[in-house]
Structure 1
Amino acid sequence: MSLPNIEALITALGLERHIEGGYFAETFRSDKSISFGDAERAIQTSIYYLLTHDAPIGHFHKNRSDIVHYYHGGDPIDYFLLNEDGELEQTTLGFDIIAGHKLQLVVKGGKWKASRLRNGVNGYGLIGEAVAPGFDYQDMQLGDRESLMRDYPGCCELITQLTRESV
């Protein structure tokens, strides 16, 4: 089996550029809703999310909702979570379970996270995400480099690599 052409993969999945980096397409939005703070949200949404050699970073951001990430294929993707105690947590999504890769990653709402594609033979990494309550851009915040470096001084180099200069 040959490797898929990245442009063909983007077209086949109907992906478009995402504000946090990479590409995405919403694949499901529940027609049922729930009160979430002061707003109504779909009970659940789901997306495909793709990082590629030309868009290898999902910049630091946080969501109000809980998100389950499911690895689908390609090269491994490293996830970086900033915990409230200032510690960095790293998880790799990929198929090499023996080497410590995970097939799923749960990120609780309100936690800063970023992702980065590992160099590999495929040039892409594909995941799915299930978001509950459902995703809404009003519930997402991109990380501000200076604020994150002040709040997580032990992670400044990583924060510099995985944030945009200005939000």
Structure 2
Amino acid sequence: MRAKKYFFVLIMVFVLTSNAFAFNLDLVGTNGQRANVSNFKNKIVVMTFFDIGCYYCQKEVPTLNKLYELYGKNQKNVIVIGVDPFDHIGQIRAFASQFGVKYPLYWGNYAQTAPLGGIFATPTSIFINKQGISKVRVPGQIGEQDFIEIIKSLQ
């Protein structure tokens, strides 16, 4: 338990202080709908980058489903989405079906992740504040309580 607390404190030390404006990431949803992260302006965005073959990404689905439900299915001030910049839409749809994903999944152009620091491991969760600035980046699987604490720190 103590190690978990130290891990969380360590993650918070790595809070991004850059002014990278995250709202230039074009997304394609599993139903073909197009979006841009700018659609989520004035909301906190929890964007988890995943890939369909990643064991830890698969294990994180129930936690993200709970967050999606907790924050009103993206109807409140927090948006929860998954972004796969590596696989095809059909594969992402199959992943959603196989693992019971409730939150929206998108394909995003990997080249556009550079302003966010790039994605070098999956899962990687990026927390974007209401002004569109990526504030926290966490590589690896995160527990539900850690997600909630980071979200609260951005409100």
Shorter-chain TM-score range: under 0.3
Task: Using structure 2 for the length normalisation, give the TM-score.
Answer: 0.24
**Greater relative CO, 1 or 2 (CA 8 Å, sep 6+):** 2
Q: Higher strand share goes to which structure? A: 1
Whichever of the two has the greater Rg, that structure is 1
